[in-house]
């Protein structure tokens, strides 16, 4: 069975500091991995995805994540935090490949990022 | 392009009342999903529809029913609302049914905030 663990339900950084949000996954098959962001009172939007191509994935708003199979991790980073990055971030996993239809997406519990001036 | 549209945005119910949450997507996606979001628990899948004419239970289906009315619309019904169903409900859709990694990307609506008193 697949699962996702996000370490740290709340992360606080200063503006301009490095952002590191941790995600570890469990999957018995090669996974597809995603980071979604949720701004207050909004739905989730895709930040970036890993689909077995390059292990370092670049997303929107300067975020990137690195897939490390040996560590079963897919941590999200951004070199310099901006006030507008304050949001909740969700890591998610699904089995890769073409299934002919639905692929179940498993979400982590989320990490709320606060950015201080 | 509206994407995924959910109605209503807010709703307050009394215990035992019924209601239907509506969801429509204009991206010609095959698969649609209903999630609930509760603090500290991420998103949990209630029901999904891999394609028009099919529906299946997700992780937390008890107390809910769904209808895939056509390819665009997927509704969620609470027959007899309970306080435990107080949550934020999200509808999502994905392309699926075709080869390629993009079939796994789910696109979310803005959510329905439901309170059951």
The string of pLDDT tens digits covering residues B84-112 is 999 999 999 988 654 455 556 889 999 99
Residue pair A20/A75 in contact (Cβ under 8 Å)? The answer is yes
> Cα–Cα distances in Å, from B108 out to A4, B36, B43, B82, B92?
20, 12, 12, 25, 4
Q: Which of A43, A52, A102 sits opposite B111 (nearest CB)?
A: A43
Residue pair A116/A13 in contact (Cβ under 8 Å)? The answer is yes
Closest B-chain CA to A7: B40
Reported as a single tens digit per residue, the pLDDT across A42-64 is 889 999 998 877 889 999 999 99
Between A2 and B94, the higher pLDDT residue:
B94
- Interface of B to A at Cβ within 8 Å reads 4, 30-31, 33, 40-45, 48, 50-51, 56, 58, 90, 92, 94, 96-101, 103-111
User: Quick check: bond before B30 cis, omega within 30?
Assistant: no
Q: Helix, strand or coil for residue B84?
A: helix
Give the residue carrying structure tokens 């997303």. A59
Q: How confident is the model at residue A78 (pLDDT cuts 50, 70, 90)?
A: very high
C-alpha dihedral sign at A87, A76, A93, B26:
positive
Over residues A103-111, mean pLDDT: 86
Query: Which residues in chain A have Cβ-Cβ distances shorter than 8 Å to B50?
Result: 101-102
Q: How confident is the model at residue B63 (pLDDT cuts 50, 70, 90)?
A: very high
């Amino acid at each position: 069975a697949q699962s996702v663990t996000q370490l740290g339900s709340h992360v606080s950084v200063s503006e301009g500091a490095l952002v590191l949000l941790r995600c570890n996954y469990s999957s018995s098959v090669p996974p597809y991995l995603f980071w979604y962001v949720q701004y207050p009172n909004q739905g989730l939007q895709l930040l970036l995805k890993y689909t077995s191509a390059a292990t370092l994935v670049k997303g929107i708003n300067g975020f990137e994540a690195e897939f490390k199979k040996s560590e079963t991790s897919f941590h999200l980073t951004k070199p310099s935090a901006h006030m507008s990055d304050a949001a909740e971030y969700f890591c998610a996993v699904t089995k890769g490949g073409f299934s002919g239809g639905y692929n179940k997406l498993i979400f982590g519990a989320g990490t709320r990022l606060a950015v201080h001036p | 392009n509206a994407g995924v549209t959910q109605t209503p945005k807010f709703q307050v119910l009394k215990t035992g009342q019924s209601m239907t949450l509506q969801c429509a997507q204009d991206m010609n996606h095959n698969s649609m999903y209903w999630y609930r979001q509760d603090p500290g628990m991420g998103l949990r899948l209630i029901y999904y529809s891999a394609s028009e004419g099919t529906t299946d239970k997700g992780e937390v289906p008890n107390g809910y029913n769904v209808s895939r009315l056509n390819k665009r619309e997927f509704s969620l019904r609470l027959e007899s609302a309970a306080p435990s169903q107080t949550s934020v409900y999200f509808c999502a859709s994905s392309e699926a049914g075709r080869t390629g990694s993009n079939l796994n990307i789910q696109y979310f609506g803005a959510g329905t905030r439901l309170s059951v008193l």
